[in-house]
Amino acid sequence: MTDSGFGERLAVARVRRGPLCLGIDPHPELLRSWNLGVDVDGLSRFADLCVTAFAGFAVVKPQVAFFEAYGSAGFAVLERTIAALRASGVLVLADAKRGDIGTTMAAYATAWAGDSPLAADAVTASPYLGFGSLQPLLDTARENGRGVFVLAATSNPEGASVQRADVAGRTVAQTVVDAAAELNPPGAPGSVGVVVGATLSDPPDVGALNGPVLVPGVGAQGGRPEALAGLAGAGPGQLLPAVSREVLRSGPDVAALRDAAERMRDAVAYLT
């Protein structure tokens, strides 16, 4: 692990390779559409094609659940995928959305932000057992130069009843953003980011975060690239749009996948 923090590495990667996070989401419908089996062999082939197509991009985000569905064999594929992506110079964001308390959270921290084979450059986490419950993960990530993206405001309708609830004049989502901001010192880009859905009409303000904002849902899920400019009060270089299906539906041809990824990268480059 390099001495620089994740926030600094991400800032460099954005400048060199563009502000786009590409998803690896091997759900059964995509495996079938790529003429792959809905099994570990199909999963492995899918992941290998994505690794080849996405080499040279800034960030790639494997969706952990679609690997976990195959048990230990699926986790073995995920380990190989993370290693291959990092070997190609790509920053890996494990979309694990872990959240728990005490020693359990500490174990998740070791797995995803420590020194296990699953550890990535950054990981997503859920704060909805209380932001303080994430402390073991935040500590482990800091010690190892890794990043954490904390769910703040998601696009799913079910999230609104919790995330938009009022707490002393602020939404719960805003309190999450504010708590993350306290962990990012002024100066160098922070390594604690938040997740804000691309389709939200009233997102929390991230202007004071001094950290990255992962914005899932661009493309096939309804988020428009042109709507990213200034989203949630973000400053230049702060947003990290995440795209999965919009690009993956161009597979399995590697050249077509890469072309779709490059087009999307170009579409968001001047808006984030």
Instruction: Name 106's Cβ contacts closer than 8 Å, sequence gap at least 6.
Output: 136, 140
Whether residue 97 lies in the annotated active site: yes
Three-state SS letters, the chain? CCCCCHHHHHHHHHHHHCCCEEEECCCHHHHHHCCCCCCHHHHHHHHHHHHHHHCCCCEEEEEHHHHHCCHHHHHHHHHHHHHHHHHCCCEEEEEEEECCCHHHHHHHHHHHHCCCCCCCCEEEECCCCCHHHHHHHHHHHHHCCCEEEEEEECCCHHHHHHHCCEECCEEHHHHHHHHHHCCCCCCCCCCEEEEECCCCCCCCCCCCCCCCEEEECECCCCECHHHCCCHHHCCCCCEEEEECHHHHCCCCCHHHHHHHHHHHHHHHCCCC
**Amino acid at position 93, single letter:** L
- Spot the catalytic one: 27, 80, 97, 142: 97
Residues marked as catalytic: 97
